[in-house]
């Protein structure tokens, strides 16, 4: 681990003081040398030596200023110009001195905030447009779907082949599920946001599925920290969101695998990893690479709140697909087993409640879906 960087003023003061002292010593030495070598031409030699020393010191000072000031300033300006031209992926490099390193860090942080704001705007527009499209499709498909169901019942009464009618009924039921999912995705949430107990919601979703036997083939457990703060949300929506994530984890986890749902107090940082869980060994170390996580422009650095996570030991989600999984109709399940709307509904519900959701690798080896909501009532 590298030590603290020196300040620019300290570096310049040190080098300039050294340069001035060295110039005085060299000037005195050359004067004495010139007078000793050729007393009759001493003045001329002193002038030549001083001119040569001035040239050397000018070149050295120029190199010093270029290395400590002009070069890092040029890099920061190039990054700022790139950002101004729309390249939000540009990042200012680190510098030797603390001043320019801090300047580069703040410029990069500003760029990250611009990127977050742009992403949030694009996402909001996408959610609105897809919601309108989903509502229209659901309405246009729902009416003929009801008519087809009526005709199917007529065919049954007229003695159509049972295998054919059962197959049609099965596919109609699948279409009906898709239409209902589209309506759930498009339907605006009008209930007001109220403080909800994330601890109770997590335990409630877990107990609901455990009582139904959803975890009979896996090892499911909860990991809830102490003093989990309340968040603003809709209790029934949040519980249904966690139920959907748990059911997805059950589908992805092989028999005998592990599923963990938990919540804890957390300060949101784009590069911060989960704190060590209570069930982890004391000497365990879980390295984390710095990943870009979704954010909201309303979030301040270190925004206090609650982190809820659902982790499993399944195959996980490849990094290239971690944004796509929240898009409508994107699914990794086999045909006929999923509509691809479950995670899209989760993402929309979390966004409507003022939170963010993302997925990365789990310590159990599979996927970890994480939801963050700002704190509702400080404790």
pLDDT at 130: 66
Listed by start position, the domains of the chain span 8-96, 112-184, 190-374
Tokens, residue 11: 């570096």
Q: Which long-range contacts (CB under 8 A, 24 or more apart) does 103-112 make?
A: 103/76, 104/72, 104/75, 104/76, 104/79, 107/76, 107/79, 107/80, 107/83, 109/301, 111/79, 111/83, 112/270, 112/295
- Give percent of the chain above pLDDT 90: 11
**Cα–Cα distance, 377 to 69 (Å, whole number):** 47
Backbone phi and psi for residue 368, each to the nearest 5 degrees, phi listed first: -125, 110
Counting as low any pLDDT under 50, the low residues of the chain are 1, 272-275, 280-290, 379
Tokens, residue 366: 């599979």
Q: Which CATH number fits domain 190-374: 3.40.50.620, 3.30.365.10, 3.40.50.300, 3.30.565.10?
A: 3.30.565.10
**Cα–Cα distance, 333 to 124 (Å, whole number):** 27
Q: What is the pLDDT of residues 342-362, one digit of tens each?
A: 788 888 888 888 888 888 888
**Cα–Cα distance, 228 to 267 (Å, whole number):** 12
Question: How many CB atoms lie under 10 A from the CB of residue 305?
Answer: 23
Q: Tell me, yes or no, if the two domains 112-184 and 190-374 fold the same way.
A: no
pTM value is: 0.58
pLDDT at 262: 92
pLDDT at 176: 75
Q: What is the pLDDT of residues 97-146, one digit of tens each?
A: 777 777 888 888 777 777 766 666 666 666 666 666 666 766 677 777 77
- CATH 1.10.287.130 for domain 112-184: yes
């Amino acid at each position: 681990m590298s030590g603290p960087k020196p300040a620019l003023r300290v570096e310049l003061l040190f080098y300039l003081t050294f340069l001035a002292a060295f110039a005085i010593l060299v000037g005195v030495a050359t004067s004495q040398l010139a007078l000793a070598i050729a007393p009759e031409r001493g003045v001329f030699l002193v002038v030549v030596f001083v001119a040569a020393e001035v040239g050397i010191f000018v070149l050295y000072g120029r190199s010093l200023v270029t290395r400590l000031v002009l070069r890092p300033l040029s890099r920061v300006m190039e990054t700022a110009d790139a950002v101004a031209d729309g390249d939000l992926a540009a990042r200012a490099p680190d510098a030797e001195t603390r001043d320019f390193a801090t300047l580069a860090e703040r410029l990069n942080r500003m760029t990250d905030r611009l990127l977050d704001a742009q992403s949030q705007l694009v996402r909001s527009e996408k959610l609105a447009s897809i919601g309108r499209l989903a509502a229209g499709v659901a309405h246009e498909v729902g009416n003929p779907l009801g008519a087809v169901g009526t005709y199917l019942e007529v065919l049954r009464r007229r003695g159509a082949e049972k295998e054919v009618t059962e197959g049609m009924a099965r596919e109609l039921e699948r279409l009906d599920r898709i239409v209902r999912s589209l309506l759930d995705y498009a339907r605006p949430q009008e209930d007001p946001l109220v403080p909800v107990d994330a601890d109770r919601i997590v335990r409630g979703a877990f107990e609901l599925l455990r009582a139904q036997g959803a975890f009979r083939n896996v090892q499911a457990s909860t990991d809830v920290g102490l003093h989990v703060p309340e968040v603003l949300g809709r209790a029934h929506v949040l519980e249904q969101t966690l139920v959907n994530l748990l059911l997805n984890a059950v589908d992805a986890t092989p028999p005998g695998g592990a599923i963990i749902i938990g919540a804890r107090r957390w300060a949101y940082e784009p590069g911060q990893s989960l704190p060590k869980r209570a069930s982890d060994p004391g000497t365990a170390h879980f390295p984390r690479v710095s990943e870009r996580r979704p954010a909201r422009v309303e979030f301040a650095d270190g925004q206090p709140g609650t982190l809820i996570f659902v982790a499993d030991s399944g195959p996980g989600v490849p990094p290239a697909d971690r944004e796509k999984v929240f898009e409508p109709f994107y699914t990794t399940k086999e045909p006929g087993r999923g509509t691809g709307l479950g995670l899209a509904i989760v993402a929309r519900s979390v966004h409507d409640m003022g939170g963010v959701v993302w997925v990365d690798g789990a310590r159990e080896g599979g996927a970890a879906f994480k939801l963050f909501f700002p704190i509702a009532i400080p404790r």
